[in-house]
Amino acid sequence: MEFFVVLAVALCLSMVGLGVACILKGVKGDSIRKLFRINVSALFGVILAATIFILFGGITANAASNDAAAAAAASSDGLRYIAAALSTGLAGIGAGIAVSATGSAALGALSEDPKILGKALVFVGLAEGIAIYGLIISIMILNA
């Protein structure tokens, strides 16, 4: 299993290095897309292989030797962490989309009339509140 982790980290670091090299050389257009598409598909393949290995290979021998109650508790904790991560991540994505729309509209409105600064900030603050609500839900999930 460590092999898959090392391979995934190597692919991620190579993607960062590839991006830096492309920026420094000034590469533009479809060639960058092709390079990143190859790297992302390789990373997806590694993740898929690791998932298949976990589901059908390496875990079955270890699961037979472990106590059933300990395995259930670990699975429960793992699902809690996944739920907390999903609620925070999806709320952050939603807040980013909302702030991008309301922030640009607020800046456009402020350029026309500077007196509406307070009204514009309220809408941007409401959009940012989505991320805070997701974080609160994550804290509630982890403390349950």
pLDDT digits (tens, 9 = 90+) for 41-80: 877 787 777 777 777 766 555 555 556 656 666 677 788 8
**pLDDT value for 90:** 93
Q: What whole-number distance in Å separates Cα of residue 74 and Cα of residue 67?
A: 11
Q: What one-character DSSP code corresponds to residue 56?
A: I
Classify burial at 11, counting beta carbons within 10 Å of its beta carbon; exposed 0-12, middle 13-18, buried 19 or more: middle
Q: In which residue are the tokens 């290095």 written?
A: 17
pTM: 0.49
Reading the block at residue 5, the tokens are: 């982790």
Question: Average pLDDT by consecutive 10-residue portion of the chain (144 residues)?
Answer: 72 78 79 77 78 68 57 74 92 93 90 88 90 92 86
The CA R_g of the chain, rounded to the nearest whole Å, is: 22
Q: What whole-number distance in Å separates Cα of residue 49 and Cα of residue 55?
A: 10
Q: What whole-number distance in Å separates Cα of residue 134 and Cα of residue 97?
A: 14
**pLDDT value for 72:** 62
**pLDDT value for 71:** 66
- The answer to whether 42 and 11 are in contact (CB under 8 A) is yes
Cα separations in angstroms, 39 against 17, 20, 22, 25, 46: 11, 14, 14, 19, 11
Find the length of the chain: 144
**pLDDT value for 60:** 53
Residue 10, classed as helix, strand or coil, is: helix
